[in-house]
A and B are shown apart, each in its own frame.
Chain A
Amino acid sequence: MTPVLQTLSLSKTYNEGPVDVHALRNINLEILPGEFTVIVGPSGSGKTTLLNMLGGLDTPSEGKVFVAGTDISNMSENELIDFRLHHIGFVFQAYNLIPVLTAEENVSFILDLQGRPAGEIKARAAEVLAEVGLADRAKNRPSELSGGQQQRVAVARALAARPQYVLADEPTANLDSATAFSLLDTMKRLNEDEKMTFLFSTHDPRVIDRASRVITLVDGEISSDERR
């Protein structure tokens, strides 16, 4: 099976004054389609840096990142932006919805930017909002939604364009237990029903418990990689 994501000898070094900080060292990783993977590790272990590399938000100092066989390591900034639009879904810790748009518009603008036809945009937005259980809140703005509902909109936005994988950075950090469980159940269902690949960076044991694969990072290196 062709991996959705693959890294080869991936390293990232930040130059902070006279000292070189090695955020990632020689990461070799393959993520297969439909995996529900979490990356764990203590603060400063390189989780966020790795997620940035895998999401095309940062470029490696050494090594390569392949998405479905395409090398994104040497793409220009504009090429990466366009690549992210079509191939990667993001869920952020702080939801990051646009407050002046309704839930439906927050979901559909990705499709709008892709240049999809209006009819398809409307239908797909309604479909993914229904999948996350917010069909009846489509016309509400983020300020009229709870934190959990806002994060569901963010998940719907990440799934709207049917990306090759979804990167989620601490998606449950700001949610209470009941809301977090509900959201994770939804994501797990989407993972199983639609074979959507999820990759989380988290400290949250509620997320780790549901993962099919747990990768542990320590000091920028993979210390364990466990499939369940």
Chain B
Amino acid sequence: MIKTTSKTAGLGFVFRLSWRNIWRNRGRSLSLMTAIFLGLTGGTLAMALVTGMMEQRFFNAIEKQYSHVQLHTKTWLDEGQAGMGILAGALLLDSLEGLPEIRAVAARTLANGLIASPTLTQGVELRGIDAAAETHLVRLPEQLIEGAYLGDTAAPELLIGKRLAQKLKVEVGSRLVISFPNANQEVVSGSFKVTGIFRTANAGFDQSTVYLHQHQLQALLGETDAVYELALRLNENDSVPALTAALQAAYPDLQVRSWRELAPELAYMQDSGSMVSYIFVIIILLGLSFGILNSMLMAVYERMRELGMLKALGMTKSRIFLMVMTETLTMALLASMIGLLTGYGLVAWLGNTGIDLGGYAEALAEFGYDAVIYPALSWQYALNITILVVVLSLLASLYPALKALKLNAADAIRS
């Protein structure tokens, strides 16, 4: 009578032998595992660095510059002239404040004009703000590096960026003259004292933006209560698309734009940023998978006689295949887990202390990045990388495993 074997018989032996085989050539296995460990640690850190920089850039742009949603009149966006503000802006502000998705709203009065110091004149955007309301929106006081925030509403005060201060060669206490066309297209001007100098992570913004009390700008424009821009800060970034659409439908005469339209480069960065990082890590893993392929091929060639013996004695092809695959996968997963844990450990540590790139602060600010980078990474990355490691390891071990299957038992034993 012919006896047959069940499909699960001997699996324990296959896994035990795979594990022992890993340590048969310790030097080679440890070299391969060290390469995977270093690759994954480095890849994780690099990915966390990029993610942290992107998150900070996003945070800076939303929390300190654009906010989530802005409303303007279409004519202001097209022509940018005085007299093109939002009609009944104050009433609209009140109704928006009641919406549950909205955390804070600020009404701004805007004008494009010139600012002049004794030595230089520069084109700027004048932002008339309600100093108290604005703090809920863009954290302006936190960005001051010299002087004080707008305080006395009666005093003609200005906040200017560090870049602009350097260009105009002025400091806190200096007086500057601003001039711009009013609603009647007559050039008006006023003298203001620099009360504070701010620095954001966006050098371009710092060079072209000036803050002053809203009512003072409105007075110069000759438009009491004129509102040109309504900026909304939401509780959740996820509710931006729905609210933008809803507001656009409710106010068809206005242009309602989310931060994705206000800063398309930011939207592109958020959409493609993690993909670029993944491509970087995949390149590392592809390099490592060739190392895996080479190591396993050597291991199979070294063990030809033994594999032939196992086949001759009754180890099925599927079990030999499983043995080679298990050996590869165990090494790759073990090294990857240690690499990921080390990487996440470093990310947690550096996420607390930050990586100070103070020496490159100005260059980083040109691109809107902070000088201190806090790496950050979600656990989703670990899951994705683990899946990638499994897939690439299996692919890399496929060729050696198929080689092991194709050998002729009788020939291999006598080789």
Which residues of A pack against B, CB within 8 Å? Answer: 48, 52, 55, 57-58, 70, 77-78, 81-87, 90, 92, 94, 96, 98-101, 109-110, 112-115, 157
Contact = CB atoms under 8 A, between A and B. Distances in A.
28 contacts: A81-B311, A81-B315, A82-B5, A82-B314, A82-B316, A84-B313, A85-B313, A85-B314, A85-B315, A86-B5, A92-B309, A92-B413, A94-B413, A96-B413, A100-B23, A101-B17, A109-B10, A109-B13, A109-B17, A112-B9, A112-B10, A112-B12, A113-B5, A113-B10, A114-B3, A114-B5, A114-B314, A115-B10
Contact of A86 (B305, B309, B314, B413): B314
A82 to B, nearest CB: 6
B184 interface: no
A94 B306 CA distance: 11
B13 A112 contact: yes
B303 to A, nearest CB: 9
Interface string B383-415: 000000000000000000000000001100110
A183 B309 CA distance: 21
B319 interface: yes
Given A57-B312, A81-B316, A115-B10, 7 more contacts: A78-B316, A85-B5, A87-B3, A90-B312, A100-B20, A114-B10, A114-B314
Contacts of A99: 24
A82 B4 contact: yes
A92 to B, nearest CB: 6
Interface in B219-257: none
Contacts of B311: 81
A80 B313 CA distance: 10
A58 B315 contact: no
Contacts, number: 84
Nearest to B305: A96
Contacts of A157: 313
Contacts of B310: 98
Contact of A52 (B8, B306, B410): B410
Interface secondary structure of B, over-half rule: helix
Contact of B410 (A57, A81, A98, A112): A57
Max chain A Cβ within 10 angstroms of own Cβ: one of B24, B305, B319, B409 = B409
A82 B316 CA distance: 7
A105 to B, nearest CB: 8
B210 to A, nearest CB: 76
A166 B100 CA distance: 84
Contacts of A83: 2
B119 interface: no
B6 interface: yes
Nearest to A57: B410
Residue among B3, B12, B24 with the most chain A CB within 10 A?
A: B3
Nearest to B317: A78
Given A81-B311, A82-B316, A99-B24, A115 B305 contact: no
B21 interface: yes
Interface string B293-319: 000000000000110011111111101
A34 B4 CA distance: 24
Contact of B314 (A52, A84, A92, A94): A84
A100 B21 contact: yes
A40 B18 CA distance: 39
